[in-house]
Amino acid sequence: MSAFGRPAPIRVLIVDDHSLVREGLKSLLASQADMDVCGEAETAGQALSLVERTSPHVAVVDLTLKDGNGIQLIKDIKNRHSDVRVVVSSMHEEHVYAERVLQAGAMAYVHKNECTSRIVDAIHCVMGDRIFVSDQVSSRLLAQAARRPNAAGLTGVEILSDRELQVFEMIGSGLTTRIIAERLHLSPKTVDSHRQKIREKLKLENATALNHFATQWALDHP
């Protein structure tokens, strides 16, 4: 509660590597009577530092950051500050990423093409300890839960692990094994191992087929 007896505002941290997006979100949230933007970051490193310093109630996180992967950032935030609720706001396809971010510890997924008011709705929802995703994804997650423990019905890139998907996306961007290894702080041998597993899971005959498929997927999922 505030000093005047009103509920304290929801403290929100914005994590996005595009300054225009951050400005837009900051303006939107500042217009809400019950919200206060406590910080903004463009990298995972900055975000973790600000979480420590500002103690946000909610972190609005993009999945593509300058220095890393948003899914790993979600895991790091939840490991260090389990009470921080994470809302993902991304251009990535929800049907590919929604379950991954929920498993990582996020509570909401909002596609950037949706109206901005969805972010406000998502923040209110997670503050009530409820999950916020589209109706289509909610139905699919319920159907998958009914099929557990196996993952029958999953096809395409959905069957890749988080790290494999990250490598797959980088292959689609035209990066070589050496550059992928450098950016992910892995050995080239480990990256090659991921490439092999991706090929096996996607039933691709060779490296050329993998490169072609990954490139096309990247074009279809900008």
Reported as a pLDDT band with limits 50, 70 and 90, residue 103 is confident
Strands 64-65 and 58-61: unpaired
Angle at 137 between CA 15 and CA 216, to 5 degrees: 75
Q: Please tell me whether the overall predicted TM-score, pTM, comes out greater than 0.85 for this model.
A: no
Q: Is the pLDDT of residue 150 over 50?
A: no
> Which CATH number fits the domain 10-144, given the four candidates 3.30.1280.10, 3.90.1300.10, 3.40.190.10, 3.40.50.2300?
3.40.50.2300
> Which CATH number fits the domain 156-220, given the four candidates 2.40.340.10, 1.10.10.10, 1.10.10.60, 3.90.480.20?
1.10.10.10
Q: Is the pLDDT of residue 1 over 60?
A: no
DSSP letter for 11, please.
E
Distance linking the first and last C-alpha atoms of the chain: 43
Which amino acid is present at 159?
I
Q: What is the pLDDT of residues 48-86, one digit of tens each?
A: 999 999 999 999 999 988 887 889 999 999 999 999 999
Question: How much is the pLDDT for 62?
Answer: 93
Q: What is the pLDDT of residues 155-196, one digit of tens each?
A: 578 888 888 988 998 898 888 899 999 888 889 999 999 999
Strand runs labelled E in 44-98: 58-61, 64-65, 68-69, 85-90
Beta carbons of 1 and 8 less than 8 angstroms apart:
yes
Q: Where are the domains of the chain?
A: 10-144, 156-220
